[in-house]
Structures are given as C-alpha cells and as structure tokens.
Structure 1
Amino acid sequence: MSKRITLMLVFIGMITLQSCTVNEVKEGPDKDTISEVFEYSNVNLTNSNDYSRILNFPFAIYPSDMVLVYRLTGLDSNRDVWKLLPETYYYDDGTLNFGYKNDFTRVNAVVELFGYDLPGLNPDFRLNQVFRVVVIPGSFASRTAAFNFEDYEAVVERYQLDEANVIKIQE
C-alpha cells in the first residue's frame, strides 16, 4: 500500500514539475525574424498607368506582417530623405494639391498619385520616383505602439535594418 502511495506521489510530482515553464521576454529583434526592405526605382506615375503602380514583392510576406511605404524626397547633408506614405501636399490656401497613397497585399504594394491636376504636376513628383517598402514581421507588432514610423532613420535603427541588405528592384 505504501508503495502505491509513494508511486502516486512521485507521478503527481513529475506531472507538476513538467508543467512549469519559464517565459523569456527578449528585447529587440530575434535572430531568425528579420525585417525586409525592398527598393523600387524609376517608378513613373503617369496618365497611361492611371497614376498608379504595383510594386511586386520578390516573395510573399506573412499575413501578420506590417508594411510601410516610403518615398525618396531628396537629400539632406548627403543623406537620403524618405517620407512615409500617405503623403499630401496643399496649396498655400490650404486646399489639396496632390498626394501619394498606398495599400498592400501579401505579394505587392500599390502606390497611387492623387490630386486635381496630375498632368500639370511637376514631373519631379511623377517620374523616376524611388519607393522603399519596409516589411516588419508581425512578431514585432506588440512593440509598435507609440512609435513614430514617419522617421525612416528611427525605423532603420529600431528594426536593425542594414542598408547592404536592401533588395533593389528596377522598375
């Protein structure tokens, strides 16, 4: 009888100890989940393509991933200046002039130019545009609250993006 009680206690103890786990919370990106950056150059937004362009990803992304689209707007101290879409420009009186917007799927992003006089818009805003698509894994989503994604350099630092790993796609 005492052997049965002892065996029963040992069995219960093993089950109890086996169910104990330790959950580690890691700071920063883990080593097997990385953010991706795709760069599309020579993108033309014209009447012939309805001022819209599909940017096909080199591979499908996960449904949980977050996608940010930036447009190269110039240089500042020899550093690229990137603006997060949507991006809107207004006349001095506050009325809409034009802007850029985007949406995405698991296989592409679409950038679109909108406004009232797109054919008359300075070609610098329509032709030879450069866009960067930043794909942030869904595992980082819980750490995105109260973060300013408009600052491309802050995104690069936070998600440890390496300029050497940017996948360049010629359009």
Structure 2
Amino acid sequence: MKKFLPLLLLLISSIFIFSCKDDDDDVQVQVDYPAVYDLNVNFKFNDTDGWFYDQAFNNPLLDQDYVLIFRQAGTENGAVVWQQIPRTLYLDQGELDYDFDFSKNDFLIYAGGTYDISTTPQYLNNQRFRVVLVPAVFGKNANTEDIKKMSYEEVISKYNIDDSKVGTL
C-alpha cells in the first residue's frame, strides 16, 4: 500500500496539471480594420523632420499589421488616380519625394526634394492621401515587397476592403 499511495497522488496531480487551460491563448483583440481613411494634408516644417504630416491612429495597431499610403495624383474620367508612396515626382524645379513611416500608434508622411520645395506650395498644401490599414492576419504569408507594388485597387480587392466606408482619422 505504501508504494501505491505515491503513484495515486502523482496520477491525481497530473490530471489537474494537464487539465488546466491557459486563457492567454484565447485573447481576442478588437481592431477597427481593414479600413481606409482619407486625409487632407497641409505639411508642416521643422528642422528635424523637414516637411511632414503626423497623425495618431484611433486605436493602436498590432505589431505585425501593415500600413499603406496612397496620394491622389489627379483624376481620370472623373475617377481618382491614386499613387502609392513612396513616390518621386519629377518637376521642372527638381525632384520631389513623398515617403512615410509608421508605428503601431501613429504615422508620418514626409515631403522632401532636390530643391527648396517651399517654392511649390501646391505640393505641400491640400494634398489628399488615403491610408489603408491591413491586418497581420491578411499579410502573414504575404511578401511586403509585393504589397508595395500593388495599386490601390489591387490592395482593396486582395484584402476585401470595403472602401465605400472611407473614414477619417
């Protein structure tokens, strides 16, 4: 009987150990995307960032989520033409670059060039951008280099994003 008691205790304790459930695996995070947001941007200037526009997200993104930003380059037959940034415009004055970076809390859009871009305020004021938030679940097997080459319409289609409900940040 003395040998049986320790085995019985071991069996009972192992049932409790293996039957416990780790609730951390069941955490569901509520996100507001995939989503599309419109921005009407007037760039600001400072000595650190140059010409920039910064904006916080309504809710933090997950670490693996991805942000794409498109600039309205014009219209064609009444439809808006979107160009993904980074983008270089070749103007008579020189080259003008739009670029951006993002974190899970915010993003910055930059404008810079090979000339004094303050002399072309039409490229710094009233610029329309479209921000597309793509959740990590869509991009987990995607190559970000492929995403960076997609048009706005391709991104909307690939990730089944309803861009009829464009929001504002």
Q: Check whether TM > 0.5.
A: yes
Amino acid at match of 1:36: A
Give the C-alpha shift of residue 140 in structure 1: 1.5
Stretch deviating more after TM superposition (48-57 or 130-139): 48-57
Deviations 1:104-145 (A, max 9, x none): 011111001001221112x32111011111111111224433
Moved over 3 A (4+): 46-50, 145-150
**Percentage of identical aligned residues:** 27
Which residue of 1 is the match for residue 134 of structure 2? 136
The verdict on how the C-alpha distance between 1:160 and 1:127 changes in structure 2, with shifts beyond 3 A counting, is same
Which residue of 2 is the match for residue 26 of structure 1? none
CA distance in 2, matches of 1:58, 1:100: 23
The verdict on how the C-alpha distance between 1:33 and 1:54 changes in structure 2, with shifts beyond 3 A counting, is closer
Which residue of 2 is the match for residue 4 of structure 1? none
Which residue of 1 is the match for residue 37 of structure 2? 38
Which residue of 2 is the match for residue 124 of structure 1? 122
CA distance in 2, matches of 1:156, 1:60: 21
CA distance in 2, matches of 1:38, 1:140: 18
Instruction: Flag structure 2 segments of 5+ consecutive residues without an equivalent.
Output: 1-30
Aligned counterpart in structure 2 of residue 100 of structure 1, from 98, 101, 116: 98
Which residue of 2 is the match for residue 84 of structure 1? 84
- Aligned residue-pair number: 134
Cα RMSD, aligned residues only: 2.5
Q: Secondary structure at the match of 1:102?
A: strand
Amino acid at match of 2:162: D
